Amino acid sequence: MKKNIAIIVALISSIQFFGQNYRTEFLEYIETNDTIKQVEVLKKWEIASPNDPELFVSYFNYYFLKGNKEVLTVSTKEPKEDGFILKDSLNNTAGYLASEIYLDNSIIQKGIDKISEGIKLFPNRLDMRYGKIYTLGQIEDWDKFTSEIIKTIEYSKINNNHWTWTNNESVEDSENFFLTGLQDYQMQLYDSGKDELLLNMRNISESILKIYPNHIPSLSNISITYLLTGEFDRAIETLLKAEKIDESDYIILANIAHGYKLKGDIKKAIAYYEKVIIFGDEETKEFARNQINDLSKE
């Protein structure tokens, strides 16, 4: 019996060893941009260890990189990145030649499908979930982006934030790491500048608060969605909940003051800017003093 156990342990160790070798080899070919060798490694790896979590991650990376394509464009508008200036016969600028990256969604989708398979087998792998979310944001599939975030939030209650990362290593300070990552992804919605995505942002924050009711960044996010749509009372109401959780959070206090300012309640705006002066850093204190001076003139 002991001999059989020893054989099984040795077999598992050898699978892990070969898995690491395949991953190392694959990453080497990523560095050299040798896509033919990448595919060769992936196929050998899949035969040897089809349920290796790193195999799914590597397939995902392969398709993501393959789906990023560079093309040359000619335009009369100056490119954001460096480009070549095209001159006419009079030496005037006639246009610009620049390289541009675009995503081939059909190829990217193959990567999303692979990482989705990995998530089903290894639901605690937060790197897989975040990789999928990031990619959905890159292709601007905002509905699936939002849905995947909410699924991950709901699963965090099931696994109690026992997340793992590459090589199934446990994530330290996992709850904080998890929530911080979600905040970064929500900023993608905000940075898009699309008002219709404010509802997505709100839905995500509300999903977080169902499980983490004292999560101040989510309350702040919800208030922002209301401030941007002119619903000042609802924004202030949400921020006041955050203040009850942490009365010294000067960012929340400043946002409450701003909400009252937009609403036209000068007295309460000044009162909250005074609180900012008590709890804020030097830069924020100076901002609050300037706001009070301006509001006092009205």
pLDDT in tens, 97-112: 545 667 899 999 999 9
* 143 pLDDT higher than 50: yes
* 88 pLDDT higher than 80: no
Mean pLDDT, range 114-136, rounded to an integer: 97
pLDDT in tens, 73-84: 554 566 555 655
pLDDT in tens, 148-175: 999 999 999 999 999 999 999 999 999 9
What is the spatial distance between Cα 59 and Cα 39, in angstroms, rounded to a whole number?
9
pLDDT of residue 274: 97
Q: What is the DSSP code (8-state) at residue 165?
A: -
pLDDT of residue 297: 80
pLDDT of residue 7: 36
Q: Which amino acid is at 58?
A: S
pLDDT in tens, 219-273: 999 999 999 999 999 999 999 999 999 999 999 999 999 999 999 999 999 999 9
* 16 pLDDT higher than 90: no
Model confidence at 70, pLDDT cuts 50, 70, 90, reads low
pLDDT of residue 2: 40
pLDDT of residue 103: 85
Task: Find, among 212, 205, 42, the residue nearest to 114 by Cα.
Answer: 42
pLDDT of residue 253: 98
CB 255 within 8 A of CB 238: no
Q: By three-state DSSP, how is residue 123 classified?
A: coil
Give the list of residues 6+ apart from residue 129 with CB closer than 8 angstroms, or none.
Answer: 119, 148, 152
Structural domains in the chain, sorted by start: 123-213 (no CATH), 232-297 (1.25.40.10)
pLDDT of residue 199: 97
The residue count of the chain comes to 298
